[in-house]
Amino acid sequence: TADAIALERKIVTAVPGPKSQAMHERRKAAVSNGVGAALPVYIAAAHDSIVVDIDGNQFIDMASGIGVTTIGHTDPAVVSAVQNQVASFTHTCFTVTPYEDYVRVAELLAAHTPGTHAKKAVLVNSGAEAVENAIKIARKYTGKNAVGVLDHAYHGRTNMTMAMNFKNSPYATGYGSLGTAVFRAPSSYPYWDGMTGEEAAERTIWYFEKQVGVADLACIFAEPIQGEGGFMVPADGYLNRIQEWCTENNVVFIADEVQSGVARTGAYYASETFGLVPDLITTAKGIAGGMPLAGVVGRAEIMDASHPGGLGGTFGGNPVSCAAAVAVFEQIERENLLGEAQRVEKTLVGGLLELQKKYPIIGEVRGKGAMIAIELVQPGTKKANPEAVTKAIAYAFQKGVLLLNAGTNYNVIRFLPSVKTSDELLLDVVSVLDEAFAAL
């Protein structure tokens, strides 16, 4: 069984091995070319922070399926919650004949998001669907239409969210006309812009005031720490000032915490680490231990502006996913996983700062909790170095470490480990990167 896997990396074939290569050929004949393949080893089992492929290779997982298995693969409490629920019932549709765990997840989201005001939630299936719903909810509440987004943002691959991403290419290229009424402003990227939070916020606000104006602006989306964009931590006070401006102008402030939420940054939601109390939060990824689940949670009066039947969908808040989510929240409490995320930050950032002293291609080490990144540059400049990222990730892959890139310029390596990853494994990852940079 998965929990018998030794927690270490172990490479026994070429990577990808012969079985993965054969499987990849099968895949190419059957799966759309439009579906990416970052690290094409095919997986047989996984436990904690170790993933085992069908050739018997073991990898330390710094990807977590893009930040999903935050409390580790096959967490025993999640496995048993899922098994029990599957054996009871798998689906009734919450909008037809409801069940307790959906309500329980909504209660947990209300309890663990910032602010003591009355909150309500809706559950859906993916991060992008949560964003889509948050737009509907904000439009209905304000009676306004326009959606504000930031430079470097990523919000998904559905029709509306495609229009909200900073990068048209590759996410929207060739996919036809985009959702309308989306306006974009510069964000806060201290490493690049050198601005204080206040200066960056005034610039953002100026853009929104000039491009659209508060009379038409329904909402602003901000990722508290930008995910795909490169894990930029905004300057102090930046998000707070934007939120304040939103409140003054009846604009719904929405924190897209799809990537940064659920213990990832050492708090339940990253907003809390900035002292933010968003009107709405979108959540997904880590919420259900790998089961598909997402949601929008926020101020009751905003959530309740929608009429019955306006929100929902067949699979939204699936009972198996909800049972898994309840187990995830219980594990976060039981195993002090917020503290564990803070430990991961200390160990990983410590190790990466040591590497930065040795390798001037590391321009910046940044992030919070188990959401850490390094931006690679041409030494002595801030010019992007995506080639070094590609090479370092390929090297680590060969040695048994799964890493993902990020960044508008693809020049960021991001670390999204399970918060339970041991210090020993984290330092092993750092040592593999040390070799990778030495080899460059």
Q: Residues interacting with ligand PMP, by CB under 6 A?
A: 66, 126-128, 131, 154-156, 223, 227-228, 256, 258-259, 284
Nearer to ligand PMP, 15 or 403 (CB): 403
Q: Give the 3-state secondary structure of residue 397.
A: helix
Smallest distance, ligand PMP to C-beta of residue 79, A: 22
Q: For ligand PMP, which residue has the nearest CB?
A: 127
Taking a C-beta distance cutoff of 8 angstroms, is the pair 162, 172 a contact? yes
Question: How far apart are CB 406 and ligand PMP at their closest, in Å?
Answer: 10
295 Cα distance to chain centroid: 13
Q: How far is the CB of 18 from ligand PMP (least distance, A)?
A: 31
- Which residues, other chains included, contact 340 with Cβ-Cβ below 8 Å and sequence gap of 6+? 419, 420
Q: Which is nearer to ligand PMP, 99 or 154 (CB)?
A: 154
Minimum separation from the CB atom of position 257 to ligand PMP (A): 7
Burial (Cβ within 10 Å: 0-12, 13-18, ≥19) of residue 32 = exposed
Residue 44: which residues within 8 A CB-CB, separation 6 or more?
52, 53, 54
**Locus of tokens 């298995």:** 69
Instruction: Name the minimum Å distance from CB 183 to ligand PMP.
Output: 18
By C-beta, is 341 or 362 nearer to ligand PMP?
341
Nearest CA to 317 among 285, 283, 289, 294?
Answer: 294
By beta-carbon proximity to ligand PMP, the closer residue of 139 and 155 is 155
Nearer to ligand PMP, 16 or 407 (CB): 407
Instruction: Give the whole-angstrom CA distance, residue 134 versus residue 422.
Output: 36
Query: What is the pairing mode between strands 404-406 and 412-415?
Result: antiparallel
Q: Give the tokens for residue 310.
A: 């306006």
Query: Is the CB of 252 or the CB of 377 nearer to ligand PMP?
Result: 252
Q: Give Cα 7 distance to the centre of its chain.
A: 24
Q: How far is the CB of 314 from ligand PMP (least distance, A)?
A: 17
Q: Which two tokens stand for residue 7?
A: 């927690």
* Closer by beta carbon to ligand PMP, 223 or else 340: 223
- Give the neighbor-by-neighbor strand order of the sheet with 43-47: 43-47, 50-53, 58-61, 401-402
Decide whether 127 or 266 has the Cβ nearer to ligand PMP.
Answer: 127
Cis, peptide link before residue 170, omega less than 30° from 0: yes
For ligand PMP, the closer of residues 256 and 375 by Cβ is 256
Looking from the CA of 2 toward its CB, the CA atoms found within 13 Å total 17
Least CB distance to ligand PMP at residue 228 (A): 6
CB of 227 to ligand PMP, least distance (A): 4
Q: Of 38 and 438, which CB lies nearer to ligand PMP in the complex structure? A: 38
Would you list the DSSP string of 304-322? TTSPTTSS--SSTT-HHHH
Q: Roughly how many angstroms between the first and final C-alpha of the chain, as a whole number?
A: 39
Placement of tokens 């949560």 in the chain: 130
- Name the minimum Å distance from CB 291 to ligand PMP: 12
The count of other CB atoms within 10 Å of the CB of residue 145 is 15
- Least CB distance to ligand PMP at residue 13 (A): 30
Question: Both tokens of residue 159?
Answer: 């029709």
